[in-house]
Amino acid sequence: MRGSHFARTRRRSSGAAALLWPLLGACLWAAVVGFKPVIVVHGLFDSSEDFKALSVFINESHPGTNVTVIDLFDRGGSLQPMWKQVEGFKAAIYPIMQNAADGVNLICYSQGGLVCRGILSTLSDHNVHSFISLSAPQAGQYGDTDYFKIFPHFVKTNLYHLCYTGIGQHISICNYWNDPHHRDLYLNNSEYLALLNSERPNPNSTEWKKNFLRIQKLVLIGGPDDGVITPWQSSQFGFYDDNETVVEMQHQDMYLKDVFGLKTLAARGDLILCSFPGIEHVKWHSNETVFHACIEKWLL
């Protein structure tokens, strides 16, 4: 009987050990590898509270990762001018970078993807490893989207008039509104996106390109069922011509002329496109399948 009891006890102990060893191994791996901190920048009308699922996904796949969702310019505050947001987010992010000897990873969602480009272009000593642009209008925004439900009818039908005036540039979305039928107005009035894309004269373009190319990976995530980013290919630097035909990134002047580094990143093998169908815009950061397919591997 004693022998039988001892055998049962040993089997139970072995079973418990079998369950604990993988967990212990994961903790030791995290301690040895030291996953880079992840910084998350939200988009238009979002807040830090909307990214709890993403934080969970990150810590399940990379245990012990320090995830910071920057709590600035929430909700209506996200309509403030883009350069103001760049300076605010930069001030919050920079101390995290300084405390991360091995660098950080940056996940920037929707409008936040453009905020992050402003930070990366103007910060000469950033240490961002992976810049993950999650359904962000990198080449601009144009046309009807689900977000216009919150705007008055006047703005929906006359947005280009609003954006291409002095007052318009004080509204974030106008800083990247890119009307292909009024290209001259975009180039003459855009104080943000046209500068980032070097589509208008910018005395800082060489320095900004050098700063941007400090990143090790650029991951561009988007999909055809987004419903907000218009055209959805803007999330991967594609955009409309004047006939509203989408011109893919590889055929855009900004890529062909390598004005801020896209072609250089591609030549380095550091430009990654992840196109994912069936995802609505507000679901990108809470969809676990998207996380595993497009984000997880770039957080090492």
Catalytic status, residue 281? yes
pLDDT at 215: 98
Residue 147 clears pLDDT 80, i.e. is over it? no
Active site residue 270: no
Q: If you average pLDDT over residues 128-134, what whole number do you get?
A: 98
Percent of the chain at pLDDT exceeding 70: 83
Q: Write out pLDDT tens, residues 73-100.
A: 999 999 999 999 999 999 999 999 999 9
The tokens for 96 are 């995290």
Among the listed residues 226, 234, 235, 285, the single catalytic one is 226
Is residue 233 in a domain? Answer: yes
Domain assignment present for residue 108? The answer is yes
Q: Which domain holds residue 214?
A: 34-147+204-298
Catalytic residue among 42, 78, 110, 235: 110
* CATH number, domain containing residue 280: 3.40.50.1820
Q: Which of 42, 62, 281, 285 is catalytic?
A: 281
**Total tally of structural domains belonging to the chain:** 1
Based on the residue annotation, tell me whether 184 is a catalytic residue of this protein.
no
- Quote the pLDDT of residue 155: 44
25-48 pLDDT, tens per residue? 444 544 445 799 999 999 999 999
Whether 240 shows a pLDDT value over 80: the answer reads yes
pTM of the model: 0.86
pLDDT of residue 142: 93
